[in-house]
Amino acid sequence: MINKMKSNKIKLRIEKVADVYKFIELTSSLLCNTRAIRNTSNVDAKSILGVLSINPDIWFYLVFDEFVDDKILDQFKEWEVE
């Protein structure tokens, strides 16, 4: 069996509040824990108040508590930044 696990962290930027709601729906649907991290801020990525508190229209890292495959990462592509 080939291991397709890719990463446990991606860099994102979400500019629209409506997209923050979509982001929360996606992270909430995952079985693994997720964190939104930027500088010293580290919040639950399944919490709307947490994500809004880090000002997501400036880049942040979405960190998964385990390595995830491309299928999961692709769900967040629209907000991914270099």
Enumerate domains of the chain plus CATH numbers. Answer: 7-79 (3.30.1340.10)
pLDDT at 69: 87
pLDDT at 31: 92
Strand ranges (E), 1-82: 7-12, 34-38, 41-44, 60-68
pLDDT truncated to tens, each residue of the chain (82 aa)?
A: 344 445 689 999 999 999 999 999 999 999 999 999 999 999 999 999 999 999 999 999 999 998 888 899 999 999 999 8
What's the whole-model pTM score? 0.87
pLDDT at 6: 54
Any idea how long the chain is? 82
pLDDT at 2: 42
**CA-closest candidate to residue 15, choices 46, 60, 50, 45:** 60
